[in-house]
Amino acid sequence: MFEHLWLIPLLPLAGAAINGLLGRRCSKPMIAVVACGTSGAAFVLALAAILDLCALAPDQRHVYLPFFTWIASGDFVAKVEFLLDPLSAVMLLVVTGVGFLIHIYSIGYMQAESGYYRFFSYMNLFLFSMLVLVLADNFLLLFVGWEGVGLCSYLLIGYYFERTSAADAGKKAFIVNRIGDVGFILGVLLIFATFNTLNFDEVFGQIVNGPERWAPEAGIGVLTAIALLLFVGATGKSAQVPLYVWLPDAMEGPTPVSALIHAATMVTAGVYVVVRCAPIYSRAPIALEVITAIGLITAVMAALIALVQTDIKRVLAYSTVSQLGYMFVAAGVGAFSAAIFHLMTHAFFKALLFLGAGSVIHALGGEQELTRMGGLRRYLPGTALTMLIATLAISGIFPLAGFFSKDEILWSAWAEGHRLVWLLALITAGITAFYMFRLIFLTFYGGERFPEEARHHLHESPPTMLVPLSVLGVLSAIGGLVGLPAWLGAESNQFFRFLEPSLAQSYSSKHLEFSHGTEALFAAISMVAAMIGIYVAYRIYLQRPGAAEAIADRAADLYRLLRNKFYVDEIYDLLLVRPMVRGSEEVLWKGLDAGVIDGTVNGVGQTVQASAGFLKNMQNGLVRSYAMWILTGVVFILLYVSFFKG
Partner 1 sequence: MDIQYYLILSALLFVVGAAGVILRKNIIAIFLCIELMLNAVNLSFISFSRYLNQVHGQIFVFFVMVVAAAEAAVGLAITIALYRHRGSLNVDDADLMKW
Measured from the CB of residue 596, what is the shortest distance to partner 1 in angstroms?
32
User: Which of residues 555 and 608 has its CB atom nearest to partner 1 in the complex?
Assistant: 608
User: Residue 225: is it exposed, middle or buried by C-beta count within 10 angstroms (0-12/13-18/19+)?
Assistant: middle
Measured from the CB of residue 635, what is the shortest distance to partner 1 in angstroms?
10
CB 262 within 8 A of CB 152: no
User: Residue 95: is it exposed, middle or buried by C-beta count within 10 angstroms (0-12/13-18/19+)?
Assistant: buried
Question: Which distant-in-sequence residues (6+ apart) come within 8 Å of 299 by Cβ?
Answer: 322, 323, 325, 326, 329, 424, 425, 428
How far apart, in whole angstroms, are the C-alpha atoms of residue 60 and residue 169?
Answer: 45
Measured from the CB of residue 637, what is the shortest distance to partner 1 in angstroms?
15
Measured from the CB of residue 621, what is the shortest distance to partner 1 in angstroms?
3
User: Which of residues 161 and 629 has its CB atom nearest to partner 1 in the complex?
Assistant: 629
CB 507 within 8 A of CB 282: yes
User: Which of residues 21 and 638 has its CB atom nearest to partner 1 in the complex?
Assistant: 638
User: Which of residues 423 and 627 has its CB atom nearest to partner 1 in the complex?
Assistant: 627
Hey, which residues does 69 pair with through a beta bridge? 79
Measured from the CB of residue 161, what is the shortest distance to partner 1 in angstroms?
53
User: Which of residues 508 and 625 has its CB atom nearest to partner 1 in the complex?
Assistant: 625
Measured from the CB of residue 644, what is the shortest distance to partner 1 in angstroms?
22
Secondary structure of residue 388 in the 3-state scheme: helix
492 C-beta neighbours (distance < 10 Å), count: 10
Q: How far is CA 19 from CA 38, 118, 256, in A?
A: 11, 7, 18
User: Which of residues 515 and 617 has its CB atom nearest to partner 1 in the complex?
Assistant: 617
Q: Which of 261, 241, 242, 243 is nearest to 251 (CA)?
A: 261
Angle value at C-alpha 238, between 36 and 428, nearest 5 degrees: 110
User: Which of residues 624 and 645 has its CB atom nearest to partner 1 in the complex?
Assistant: 624
User: Which of residues 175 and 627 has its CB atom nearest to partner 1 in the complex?
Assistant: 627
Greatest CA separation found in the chain? 120
Measured from the CB of residue 612, what is the shortest distance to partner 1 in angstroms?
9
User: Which of residues 554 and 616 has its CB atom nearest to partner 1 in the complex?
Assistant: 616
Q: Residue 352, CB half-sphere, CA atoms under 13 Å: how many?
A: 33
User: Which of residues 614 and 643 has its CB atom nearest to partner 1 in the complex?
Assistant: 614
Measured from the CB of residue 613, what is the shortest distance to partner 1 in angstroms?
9
Question: Which distant-in-sequence residues (6+ apart) come within 8 Å of 476 by Cβ?
Answer: 345, 348, 349, 352, 389, 390, 393, 400, 401, 402
Measured from the CB of residue 147, what is the shortest distance to partner 1 in angstroms?
57
Secondary structure of residue 264 in the 3-state scheme: helix
Q: Which of 117, 92, 152 is nearest to 24 (CA)?
A: 117
Measured from the CB of residue 607, what is the shortest distance to partner 1 in angstroms?
18
Measured from the CB of residue 636, what is the shortest distance to partner 1 in angstroms?
15
Measured from the CB of residue 606, what is the shortest distance to partner 1 in angstroms?
18
Q: How far is CA 491 from CA 495, 496, 511, in A?
A: 12, 12, 18
Q: From start to end of 321-463, where are the E strands?
A: none
Q: Which of 286, 407, 276, 290 is nearest to 340 (CA)?
A: 276
User: Which of residues 587 and 628 has its CB atom nearest to partner 1 in the complex?
Assistant: 628
How far apart, in whole angstroms, are the C-alpha atoms of residue 372 and residue 364?
Answer: 10
User: Which of residues 576 and 628 has its CB atom nearest to partner 1 in the complex?
Assistant: 628
User: Residue 164: is it exposed, middle or buried by C-beta count within 10 angstroms (0-12/13-18/19+)?
Assistant: exposed
The alpha carbon of 235 is separated from its chain's Cα centroid by a whole number of angstroms, namely 9
Measured from the CB of residue 604, what is the shortest distance to partner 1 in angstroms?
21
Measured from the CB of residue 631, what is the shortest distance to partner 1 in angstroms?
6
User: Which of residues 528 and 627 has its CB atom nearest to partner 1 in the complex?
Assistant: 627
Whole-angstrom Cα Rg for the chain: 30
Residues within the interface to partner 1 (CB under 8 A): 616, 619-624, 627-628, 631
CB 283 within 8 A of CB 507: yes
Secondary structure of residue 73 in the 3-state scheme: strand
CB 148 within 8 A of CB 133: yes
User: Which of residues 546 and 621 has its CB atom nearest to partner 1 in the complex?
Assistant: 621
CB 206 within 8 A of CB 193: no
Secondary structure of residue 71 in the 3-state scheme: strand
Q: Which of 274, 216, 232 is nearest to 87 (CA)?
A: 274
